[in-house]
């Protein structure tokens, strides 16, 4: 089980790295591609790319349960939210700073966690509440334009709307994350992309040149397809809130790439927001690591019965953070546990 968690953490971090390139590269492509068309091509690239992957991984594909009619509400919710979210994001990137948009992506942690708490009753620790406060404060700082009056950036507000949509979408996906990952990502990509493309046509956006279509599809496959695929795999083991915690590195990578690729200016406001966001993100990651880390203990019991000496070993694990200060603690074991056999494993 511990090995599965380690793989899940690796998947979540890789998903974050792949997604991080989305905002700065999308900003570059938006000079040549319509906003809603861009959102459509990104998801179509994801769906088509993962569909091709599934054809070469039929063995891996067949080991997971298929989606069924009971999953339909979550699938529909996932698709509709994935139509809205990238459109909000693309408009936010077009009208705002790429670095701001990248960093604001961490508000998705807040949205995902609060929805997981209120609707799906996932536990939220004190540390996570503190992290949510810091991330929310940073998001407010990034959204405020200053300029002599209390005015908010339209670009930042649109990005925040995108993160809220993805917060709901993460929790929809959480409920089907144990099902076939290829199926989930292909449905998400093809239908969300097609829905966005229909909206683009209604808005009379022109199709870009083939070279930009190809670039947008490729970006979609990497930044959305591979990222979503790995995210779903991680979420199946870690849960929605915990996976989002590891995914939190993506905005920082995206912000760094924005300054490198787009030559955006580093403002004082951004630096303050960055520091506040960093504190919140570190608290999220620490909360996840401390709540998931377990430590194994082994106890040996010896007793005499009918003239013979019997030795039994009991192995148990407990959350490591309960005993970080080296405090003494005890565990109760029943007579049945002690007499059952030489090795008993259970969680405390």
CA triple 120-252-24, angle to 5 deg: 105
Task: Give the CA count within 13 Å in the CB-facing half-sphere of 183.
Answer: 18
Residues of the chain with pLDDT under 70: 1, 59-63, 145-152, 240-241, 244, 288-289, 291-348
pLDDT at 30: 96
pLDDT at 59: 66
Phi/psi at 208 (nearest 5 deg)? -75, 175
Return d(Cα 249, Cα 14) in angstroms, integer: 10
pLDDT at 74: 93
Return d(Cα 46, Cα 149) in angstroms, integer: 42
- 10 Å CB burial of residue 294 (0-12, 13-18, 19+) is middle
Token digits for 167? Answer: 């917060």
pLDDT at 170: 85
């Amino acid at each position: 089980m511990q090995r599965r968690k380690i793989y899940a953490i690796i998947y979540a971090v890789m998903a974050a790295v792949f997604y991080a390139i989305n905002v700065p590269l999308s900003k570059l492509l938006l000079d040549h591609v319509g906003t809603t068309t861009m959102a459509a091509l990104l998801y179509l690239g994801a769906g088509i790319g993962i569909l091709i992957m599934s054809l070469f991984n039929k063995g891996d594909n067949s080991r997971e349960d298929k989606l069924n009619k009971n999953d339909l509400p979550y699938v529909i919710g996932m698709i509709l939210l994935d139509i809205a979210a990238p459109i909000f994001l693309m408009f936010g990137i077009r009208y705002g700073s790429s670095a701001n948009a990248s960093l604001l992506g961490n508000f998705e942690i807040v949205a995902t966690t609060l929805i997981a708490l209120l609707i799906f009753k996932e536990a939220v620790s004190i540390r996570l509440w503190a992290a949510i406060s810091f991330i929310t404060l940073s998001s407010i700082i990034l959204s405020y334009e200053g300029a002599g009056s209390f005015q908010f950036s339209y670009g930042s507000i649109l990005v925040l709307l995108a993160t809220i949509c993805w917060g709901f979408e993460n929790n929809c996906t959480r409920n089907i994350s144990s099902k076939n990952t290829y199926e989930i990502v292909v449905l998400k990509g093809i239908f969300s992309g097609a829905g966005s493309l229909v909206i683009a046509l209604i808005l009379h956006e022109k199709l870009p040149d083939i070279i930009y279509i190809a670039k947008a599809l490729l970006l979609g496959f990497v930044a959305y397809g591979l990222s979503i695929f790995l995210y779903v795999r991680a979420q199946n083991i870690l849960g929605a809130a915990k996976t989002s915690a590891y995914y939190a590195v993506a905005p920082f990578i995206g912000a760094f790439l924005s300054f490198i690729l787009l030559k955006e200016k580093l403002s004082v406001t951004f630096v303050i927001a960055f520091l506040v966001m960093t504190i919140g993100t570190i608290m999220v990651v620490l909360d996840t690591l401390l709540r998931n880390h377990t430590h194994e203990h082994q106890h040996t019991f010896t007793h005499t019965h009918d003239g013979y000496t019997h030795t039994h070993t009991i192995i148990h694990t407990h959350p490591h953070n309960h005993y970080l200060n080296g405090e003494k603690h005890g565990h109760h074991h029943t007579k049945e546990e002690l007499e059952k056999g030489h090795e008993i494993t259970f969680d405390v």
